[in-house]
Amino acid sequence: MEVKEDGEGILVHALPGGNFDAVRELDAHRLFSYVDSALDAGRVKELGEVLLFYECRCTDAMISRIIDNMEEADRRDMFGDLPHVEIECPRCGRKYTVASKDKSIH
List average pLDDT for each run of 10 residues in the chain, which is 106 residues long. Answer: 82 78 87 89 79 82 90 90 91 89 55
pTM over 0.95: no
Q: Does residue 19 form part of some domain? A: yes
**pLDDT of res. 23:** 84
Q: Does residue 86 form part of some domain? A: yes
**pLDDT of res. 56:** 87
Phi, psi of 62 (to 5 degrees): -65, -45
What single-letter amino acid sits at 1? M
Number of domains in the chain: 2
* DSSP, residue by residue, 32-98: HHHHHHHHHHTSS---------------HHHHHHHHHTS-HHHHHHHHTT-SEEEEE-TTT--EEEE
Which has the closest alpha carbon to 91: 68, 63, 64, 69?
Answer: 63
Q: Does residue 104 form part of some domain? A: no
| 96, β-bridge pairs | 87
Q: Does residue 54 form part of some domain? A: no
**pLDDT of res. 97:** 93
Domain range enclosing 71: 60-99
Q: Does residue 24 form part of some domain? A: yes
